[in-house]
Amino acid sequence: MKSLAIIGSQWGDEGKGKITDLLGLKCDVVVRYQGGNNAGHTIIVGEKKVVLHLIPSGILHDHCVSVIGHGVVLDPEAFSKEIENVKNSGLTVTPEKLKISSNTSVITFYNRLLDGQREAKGPVKIGTTGKGIGPAYEDKISRKGIKVKDLFDKEVLTEKLKANLLEKETLFTKLYECEYPSVEEEVERLMSLAKELEPFVCDTFSFLDEAKRAGKKILFEGAQGVLLDIDFGSYPFVTSSSTAYAGIYSGAGLPGGTVEEVLGITKAYTTRVGEGPFPTELFDQMGEDIQTKGGEFGATTGRKRRCGWLDLPLLKYSVKCSNLTSIALTKLDVLSEMGPLQVCTGYEYEGRTIDCAYPGIDLSKVKPILKEVAGFNDDFKGELSKEVKDYIALIEEAIEIPVGIIAFGPERSEIKFLKEYF
Residue 284 among known ligand-binding residues: no
61 is a catalytic site residue: no
Residue 224 among known ligand-binding residues: yes
Residue 256: left (phi > 0), alpha (psi -120 to 50), or beta? left
Q: Which of 249, 256, 278 is nearest to 11 (CA)?
A: 278
Residue 41 among known ligand-binding residues: yes
SS3 129: coil
**Residues contacting residue 281 through CB under 8 Å, at least 6 positions apart:** 272, 287, 306, 307, 308
Residue 2 among known ligand-binding residues: no
Residue 15 among known ligand-binding residues: yes
Residue 304 among known ligand-binding residues: yes
Could you say which of 70, 99, 140, 168 is catalytic?
Answer: 140
Residue 5 among known ligand-binding residues: no
174 is a catalytic site residue: no
Could you say which of 13, 21, 75, 115 is catalytic?
Answer: 13
Tally Cβ neighbours within 10 Å of residue 398: 19
41 is a catalytic site residue: yes
Residue 13 among known ligand-binding residues: yes
Residue 301 among known ligand-binding residues: yes
SS3 302: coil
Residue 132 among known ligand-binding residues: no
**Residues contacting residue 318 through CB under 8 Å, at least 6 positions apart:** 9, 10, 225, 226, 227, 244, 264, 324
Residue 252 among known ligand-binding residues: no
Could you say which of 21, 41, 61, 267 is catalytic?
Answer: 41
Residue 381 among known ligand-binding residues: no
SS3 228: helix
Residue 104 among known ligand-binding residues: no
Entry field: residues in the chain: 422
Longest dimension (CA), the chain: 67
- Answer positive or negative: Cα dihedral of 15, 17, 19, 20: positive
**Binding site as annotated, residues:** 12-18, 38-42, 129, 143, 224, 239, 299-305, 331-333, 407-409
Q: Catalytic residue positions?
A: 13, 41, 140
**Binding site as annotated, residues for substrate:** 299-305
**Binding site as annotated, residues for GTP:** 12-18, 40-42, 305, 331-333, 407-409
**Binding site as annotated, residues for IMP:** 13-16, 38-41, 129, 143, 224, 239, 303
**Binding site as annotated, residues for Mg(2+):** 13, 40
